[in-house]
Structure 1
Amino acid sequence: MTLLDLAPRTRTTPRLATLPVAIIGAGPIGLAAAAHLAERGIAFDVFEAGPAPASGVRLWGHTRLFSPWRHLVDPAAQRLLERNGWTAPADLDTAPTGHELADRLLEPLAALEEIAPHVHYGTRVTAVAREGMDRTRTAGRADTPFLLRIDRGGEIVDLAARAVIDASGTYTTPNPLASSGLDPLGTAEVSDRILHALPDVAGADRARLTGRDVTVVGAGHSAANTLLALAALADEEPETRVTWLIRNAGAVRVTTSPDDELADRARLGSRVDALVDTGRIRRVDSFEISRVAPYGDGIRVIGTRRGEPAHHVTDLVVAATGFRPNLDMLREIRLDLDDIVEAPRRLAPLIDPNVHTCGTVEPHGFAELRHPEPGFFLAGMKSYGRAPTFLLATGYEQVRSITAWIAGDMAAATTVSLTLPTTGVCSTDVGGSCC
């Protein structure tokens, strides 16, 4: 395959030349894409459903990332920020919380004059298509602008774009509790007793969790973080009881290898195991959930355990079962996704969690992220589909390559490189990534 084979197929017609690149999501990857486009002088608009930059990050902002600062700052973003007087954190080896990442990096980046006028808050993209053609139409498709249907506080409008970078993440679309991948039967009746992954145990959710019997469902980093926080709450509030319910006979978590450069993550497994061994966390393994039902003020979880009918009664359930991309908004876009992890097909073998850890994912860019829809890209956590091996540094290299392709700079677009921390086994964690 030659550079000519990979060159942009969306020609710069007079109208296309006047249109911006649309970026969906003002989180770390979306804002990094904006920084790269701003450096290249390419017009862009960022559409953020939340009221401020990093609204998605703020949802889990109380949680500390595993990656230190040195792996969390996009180079183009850093150049723009430093040009405007920003200084990097003094200790690049410390890992910030989500709130610290937003306060220290993402909000200042979004406020820059090169970016701020082009970010639209309270603006949700509900669908992406091509102007005047559904996904079945082929003739002239590559030369036709994208159409984004936008909900601005109830006002529905259509906007045009020359290319689209969907960096909307996965945190707001968790995997269901049932082992089938569907919501358990009866979910609607007990939805008020099921909490999203990573509740703020020590802060906003403390009163709701104190003195309750809380069951955490899931076997990854999100579950481990929440279990540790609940165990600490139980130390202060002894009436609080903690159960850990997992589907398999054992939990697949980060190894405790001393070679893991993300030290906080490497210790998660052993810390949770110690709490299980001392009885401070009760573990129920090999439980396959199929139904849920009210049980007084609590919830009954129903399914099978080791092939036999089983149930578990608790007050509240934390659904730490991982995340998946929202693909409904892309129904009219021609996607080429892996059948298993729902990542771009060329990327999927590079991020397969059965083979790769966060630190062994190969550098990749626009070529691996391409779809049959020229000019459309999934980036960041959403590009990884259901695979939990994503690091922010990986997403920054993605958008650097994508924006170079949009600019027609094929030499930069095809030259991808990345230095990642050495890591242990990855499983689901913050926002569905290793961060």
Structure 2
Amino acid sequence: MSPVVVIGAGPQGLAAAAHLLERGLEPLVLEAGDSPAAAVAEWGHVRLFSPWSELTDAAARRLLEPTGWSLPESGFPTGAQWIEGYLAPLAEVLGGRVAYDSEVVGVGRKGRDLAVDDGRAEQPFVVHVRRGDGTEARFEAQAVIDASGTWTTPNPAGADGLPALGERAAVSGGLVDFRVPTAAEASEFAGGHVVIVGNGHSAATAIGLFARVAKRAPDTRVTWVLRRGSVGNTFGGGSGDELPERGALGQRAKKAVEDGLVDLVTGFRTEEVVVEHGRVSLRAEDGRRLEPADRIIVLTGFRPDLSFLTEIRLDLDMRLQAPARVAEEVDPNIHSCGSVRATGAADLAHPEPGFFIVGAKSYGRAPTFLALTGFEQVRSVVAEIAGDREAAARVDLVLPDTGVCGGAGLFDEPAEVNSGAGCCTSAPQPISLGERPRR
């Protein structure tokens, strides 16, 4: 029988392989990178806000434990530590079932293009792969689990979802980046000006990093750009967050603003990236222009890469590009604390039987995906593929509250209005957005 193809050897892809083996099914994991969790390795210097106990999958642990592996007792690992302590050993146990340098460039049904109904469901999937040496391969599969993530497709600085005028050239010139720098890289900008664009956890991480640089070198300028007119839930749920490290992340960013280490600019929707004399600045749709900077770091989230799924029949939400039933749960326009539930095979299914999108990609453009969510997804999906409908329908996870309520607030809400308060926590106190104090 054909294997079940898993796209991506990241946390969810490797966990899916472990569940498949436990169910007596043969996995074939196709990884575009040259090592397990290659995407995680690119942000390996960043510390996760989930503890070790929430970063490993149950079936994966059962596969690893006979080798003498044991779960670290406590702590919050960096991405690199996550790979070293769990993901790389798991990939090693899976052995030849993981193929590296194998980029999936297309998925379809054997002998049937997207338009053909007749006999479609009875045909195996075909997965087209381009290897690192340029050669191509084609695999048949009884089912496909897409756990490829979203890391390679970051959102642009342009506020309309498209790269701003001049953005591509600025990226090519090394003046715009889309990842959180290392501490050493951030220190190189001491005494300079850095602009951070974004509203999520990655942006808060970068703000904390550069705030430390500004504290050591007071002539350093850090500008934090938000598209929304309101601070809203930018600083997270604080003590109301059931993941304390996640809550603390936002509070550290808030303190950096209050202490004058960071200039916060709201309601700034980038229309153009301007490069002049080796420096770079942003111009907003309303005509405002930021002072020239040495680097702009865009941390505006990610979007799914659907380019290799054009021959698969998908049921995606038109806004989030997530499976429609998942989108109902994670829509950042409306979701509030306690409202996000775990999702399983029934939520992740598409009109193409046997095809599932799991992991961060299953949230489409929505943020705040947890490893725990992905582990529950793959448990349910593999049970469905194995024919265990009861296990597939069961929910074995309750997600921790964020401590943030009421969605993202009104997009054009003025800066002096706080829209982030609600059912979970007391209203955040307003902060001054005027001139930063002298230090």
TM-score w.r.t. structure 2 length? 0.87
Residue 328 in structure 1 maps to residue 307 in structure 2: yes
Change (3 A) 1:143 1:358: farther
Residue 369 in structure 1 maps to residue 352 in structure 2: no
Aligned partner of 1:127 in structure 2 is 106
Aligned partner of 2:416 in structure 1 is none
Given that residues 358 and 391 in structure 1 are in contact (C-alpha distance below 8 angstroms), is that contact kept between their aligned partners in structure 2? no
Output the CA distance in 2 between the equivalents of 1:272 and 1:364: 31
**DSSP 3-state at the match of 2:250:** helix
Residue 183 in structure 1 maps to residue 166 in structure 2: no
Residue 168 in structure 1 maps to residue 148 in structure 2: yes
- Name the amino acid aligned to 2:192: R
Structure 1 gap segments, 5+ residues each: 1-17, 429-435
Aligned partner of 1:287 in structure 2 is 268
Output the CA distance in 1 between the equivalents of 2:72 and 2:252: 29
**How many Å apart are 1:236 and its aligned residue?**
3.2
Match of 1:425 among 404, 407, 430: 404
Output the CA distance in 1 between the equivalents of 2:238 and 2:130: 47
Residue 43 in structure 1 maps to residue 26 in structure 2: yes
Aligned partner of 2:319 in structure 1 is 340
Residue 195 in structure 1 maps to residue 149 in structure 2: no
Change (3 A) 1:25 1:420: same
Structure 2 gap segments, 5+ residues each: 409-439
Match of 2:376 among 397, 409, 416: 397
Match of 2:11 among 24, 28, 43: 28
Off by >6 Å, runs of 4+ in structure 1: none
**DSSP 3-state at the match of 1:361:** coil
- Which range moved further: 356-365 or 209-218? 356-365
Given that residues 52 and 73 in structure 2 are in contact (C-alpha distance below 8 angstroms), is that contact kept between their aligned partners in structure 1? no
Structural mapping, 1:83-162, within 5 Å: 83-91=66-74, 94-112=75-93, 115-153=94-132, 154-162=134-142
**DSSP 3-state at the match of 1:243:** strand
Change (3 A) 1:259 1:285: closer
Given that residues 337 and 345 in structure 1 are in contact (C-alpha distance below 8 angstroms), is that contact kept between their aligned partners in structure 2? yes
**How many Å apart are 1:41 and its aligned residue?**
1.6
**DSSP 3-state at the match of 1:209:** coil
Output the CA distance in 2 between the equivalents of 1:355 and 1:269: 20
Output the CA distance in 2 between the equivalents of 1:37 and 1:416: 18
Match of 1:275 among 256, 262, 266: 256
The one-character-per-residue Cα deviations of 1:289-318 (angstroms, maximum 9, x if unpaired) are 1111211111121123xxx31112222100
Output the CA distance in 2 between the equivalents of 1:365 and 1:400: 8
**How many Å apart are 1:215 and its aligned residue?**
0.2
Give the aligned length. 402
Given that residues 231 and 242 in structure 1 are in contact (C-alpha distance below 8 angstroms), is that contact kept between their aligned partners in structure 2? yes
- Name the amino acid aligned to 1:32: A
What is the Cα-based RMSD across aligned positions, in Å?
Answer: 1.8
Given that residues 197 and 223 in structure 1 are in contact (C-alpha distance below 8 angstroms), is that contact kept between their aligned partners in structure 2? no
**DSSP 3-state at the match of 2:105:** strand
Given that residues 199 and 226 in structure 2 are in contact (C-alpha distance below 8 angstroms), is that contact kept between their aligned partners in structure 1? yes
Output the CA distance in 1 between the equivalents of 2:163 and 2:131: 29
Output the CA distance in 2 between the equivalents of 1:358 and 1:145: 41
- Name the amino acid aligned to 1:386: R
Change (3 A) 1:184 1:241: same
Output the CA distance in 2 between the equivalents of 1:190 and 1:209: 18
Output the CA distance in 2 between the equivalents of 1:389 and 1:95: 17
Match of 2:197 among 217, 221, 241: 217
Output the CA distance in 2 between the equivalents of 1:311 and 1:366: 47
**How many Å apart are 1:358 and its aligned residue?**
7.5
TM-score w.r.t. structure 1 length? 0.88
Output the CA distance in 1 between the equivalents of 2:258 and 2:376: 42
**DSSP 3-state at the match of 1:78:** helix
Given that residues 356 and 389 in structure 1 are in contact (C-alpha distance below 8 angstroms), is that contact kept between their aligned partners in structure 2? no
**DSSP 3-state at the match of 2:269:** strand
**DSSP 3-state at the match of 2:236:** coil
**How many Å apart are 1:278 and its aligned residue?**
2.4
**How many Å apart are 1:357 and its aligned residue?**
5.1
Aligned partner of 1:411 in structure 2 is 390
Given that residues 358 and 389 in structure 1 are in contact (C-alpha distance below 8 angstroms), is that contact kept between their aligned partners in structure 2? no
Output the CA distance in 2 between the equivalents of 1:95 and 1:359: 24
**How many Å apart are 1:249 and its aligned residue?**
2.2
Output the CA distance in 2 between the equivalents of 1:48 and 1:237: 42
**How many Å apart are 1:387 and its aligned residue?**
1.1
